[in-house]
Structures are given as C-alpha cells and as structure tokens.
C-alpha cells in the first residue's frame, strides 16, 4: 500500500485499534496517528506502540495526516465532518459505521459532494468493545463494503479499496442505500432478534439457566454487543429494519399455524431452503 504514508484514526476502540494494529503489523513504515476523546486510550495506544503519535487537537491531526478514518460512535461522525469542514483541508476520509445512507448524506451536506469522503463498512467485529479487544487479525479475509456515490472520484475510491485490501480484507462496492438494505437483513435484523430473545428469556425463572446448551451460547453471543450503538443503528436505518422485522413477523405467524396444527411436513418445507442456503455459506 503506497497510497498513504500517514494515516489518522479517530477513535481507538475495537475497529480503530484493530486498524492501527494491522497497519503496524503489515508495514511499520506507515505512520499511524491517533485521536480520541479519552486521553488514557491515547497514552495506552502510544505505550503499546499501536500508534506513532497522538494528537489532542483535531486540527493538528488533520494537518499531519493524508488519510483519515472515522471510527467513532456513529452519533459523533457528524461532529467530525464539521471539524474537517472548518479546517478547510481536503483530506481523503472514510468511516466504518454500520449504516451508510444517513452518514454519506451528512458527509455530502457538510463537506460538499465533491469532497474526497467515501464511506466504508467492514463486515467484522466482536461483541467486545474498546482498544483492549482490538486485534491485528480482525480484517483478515473479511469483507469490507465501500459505498461510493455518483460524485466519488475513481482514484480516491481505488485508494480506499487498496487500503482495506492492504489490511487483508476483500472489498465490495454498493450504493449507500443498497448497503443499508442488505445489512438490515444480514446484520441488523439478527441483532434485533437476539436482543429481543434475551429480553424475553431474562425475565424467566433463573433455574432455566441449567437448560442452556452449546447452540444457545453461539446464537446469543452478539447479544452482548453495545446496546447504545445498536439503538443508534436501528434508529438510523429504521425504514429498512422495520421492513425486515415485518417480513420476519409475517413468516413467524405463518409457521406458528403449522406448529399449532402439528403440520410437520409444512414446517420442514418452510425451513429447508434457508438451511440449505446457510450450509453453502460455511
């Protein structure tokens, strides 16, 4: 990756920390600059040589970097768009938020349509959060969706693709709205379902914990994720999520009738295709 020699990362949590660690693992020559609202995170990252330098002033970070990755909580991204705008520096920017339509819209509104900002969404993560959970292997073999618009310049896009590939990921392009539709099904709906399921079960008799098996543990692991972040995602991508929920509700209602009547062959038929689809994935 020869596009950037100085990468600025805003937010050194799971994703930001993992990006820093992976850059350093793959090419020690690239300078990684950190910015975070928590000074303790910055000093820890510096002490552990995850970053080369940290800045307490965002303007200085901007001036020192060639490429900026916003890895903050989603509701802070708009703030940084405004700070970038204020600085007047034309810097290549991406973010890692799980919703893209609203973020890209905000980016265009604040920075202008021709500003070299293109959104990204790495399809990787963990139910754990923070710098301590970050890893130099988080992106290895994982997909990253990049969401250019008609205003995005090809060479900027190419640089952002190269960057994620340099971290070990495969990149795919989708429009912001297509991205949000797809992830409402592949990621947002399953998180919602698992959170909701855990809500239901947590209200029951404690003895039921003895009846927890292997499948339960894997299935509900994502239920340990950051709820604040997810409430934000559900709100930002609400139209798609509501559609996904409604489709899911309709199907559950249908299956319930098969169960009521003990129609085993209909239950099997209902679930067969999904099982086969899943088997092809992994």
Residues 189-208 that bind a copy of itself (CB under 8 A): 189-205, 207-208
Q: What whole-number distance in Å separates Cα of residue 32 and Cα of residue 53?
A: 7
End-to-end CA distance of the chain: 30
Residue 6 C-beta: closest distance to a copy of itself, Å: 29
49/186 with CB nearer a copy of itself: 186
Q: What angle do CA 7, 43, 25 make, to 5 degrees?
A: 45
Q: What are phi and psi of 98, to 5 degrees?
A: -80, -5
Rg (C-alpha) for the chain, rounded Å, is 21
Here's the x/- map for a copy of itself, 140-179, by CB under 8 A: it reads as: --xx-x--------------------------x-x----x
53/173 with CB nearer a copy of itself: 173
Among 126, 135, 162, 177, binds a copy of itself (CB under 8 A): 126
Q: Where are the alpha helices (DSSP H) in the chain?
A: 14-26, 39-47, 58-64, 74-87, 101-111, 154-166, 176-183, 189-202, 214-219, 227-236, 238-260, 264-281
Among 2, 47, 154, 273, binds a copy of itself (CB under 8 A): 273
**Residue 253 in the binding site for a copy of itself (CB under 8 A):** yes
The DSSP secondary-structure symbol of 132 reads G
Task: Give the count of beta carbons closer than 10 Å to the beta carbon of residue 8.
Answer: 27
**DSSP track, 254-276:** HHHHHHHTT-HHHHHHHHHHHHH
Among 17, 125, 148, 176, binds a copy of itself (CB under 8 A): 125
165/270 with CB nearer a copy of itself: 270
- With CA atoms as reference, report the closest residue to 188 among 229, 133, 142, 135: 229
Among 124, 147, 152, 169, binds a copy of itself (CB under 8 A): 124
53/194 with CB nearer a copy of itself: 194
Region 26-85 residues binding a copy of itself, contact defined as CB under 8 A: none
Among 5, 59, 109, 127, binds a copy of itself (CB under 8 A): 127
Q: What are phi and psi of 30, to 5 degrees?
A: -70, 130
24/191 with CB nearer a copy of itself: 191
68/97 with CB nearer a copy of itself: 97
- With CA atoms as reference, report the closest residue to 125 among 268, 8, 29, 221: 221
Among 37, 109, 114, 227, binds a copy of itself (CB under 8 A): 227
Size of the site for a copy of itself (CB under 8 A): 92
Among 40, 57, 154, 217, binds a copy of itself (CB under 8 A): 217
Residue 140 C-beta: closest distance to a copy of itself, Å: 11
* Relative orientation angle of helices 74-87 and 227-236, to the nearest 10 degrees: 70
Residue 181 C-beta: closest distance to a copy of itself, Å: 8
Place of tokens 């239901």: 200
64/186 with CB nearer a copy of itself: 186
């Amino acid at each position: 990756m020869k596009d950037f020699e100085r990468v600025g990362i805003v937010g050194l949590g799971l994703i930001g920390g993992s990006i820093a660690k992976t850059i350093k693992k793959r090419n020690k020559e690239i300078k990684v600059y950190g910015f975070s609202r928590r000074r303790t995170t910055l000093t820890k990252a510096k002490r552990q040589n995850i970053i080369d330098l940290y800045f307490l002033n965002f303007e200085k970070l901007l001036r020192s970097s060639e490429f900026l990755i916003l890895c903050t909580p989603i509701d802070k991204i708009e703030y940084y768009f405004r700070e970038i705008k204020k600085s007047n520096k034309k810097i290549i920017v991406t973010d890692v938020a799980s919703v893209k339509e609203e973020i890209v819209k905000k980016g265009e509104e604040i920075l202008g349509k021709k500003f070299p900002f293109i959104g990204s969404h790495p399809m990787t993560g963990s139910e754990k959060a923070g710098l301590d959970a970050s890893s130099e292997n988080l992106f290895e073999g994982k997909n990253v969706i990049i969401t250019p618009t008609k205003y995005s310049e090809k060479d900027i896009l190419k640089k952002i693709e190269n960057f994620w590939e340099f971290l070990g990921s495969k990149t795919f392009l989708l429009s912001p709205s297509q991205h949000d539709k797809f992830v409402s099904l592949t990621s947002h709906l399953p998180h919602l379902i698992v959170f909701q399921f855990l809500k239901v079960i947590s209200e029951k008799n404690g003895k039921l914990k003895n009846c927890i098996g292997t499948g339960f543990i894997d299935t509900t692991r994502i239920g340990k994720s950051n709820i604040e972040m997810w409430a934000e995602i559900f709100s930002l991508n609400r139209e798609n999520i509501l559609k996904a929920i409604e489709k899911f509700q309709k199907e559950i209602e249908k299956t319930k009738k098969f169960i009521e009547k003990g129609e085993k062959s209909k239950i099997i038929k209902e679930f067969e295709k999904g099982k086969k689809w899943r088997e092809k994935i992994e």
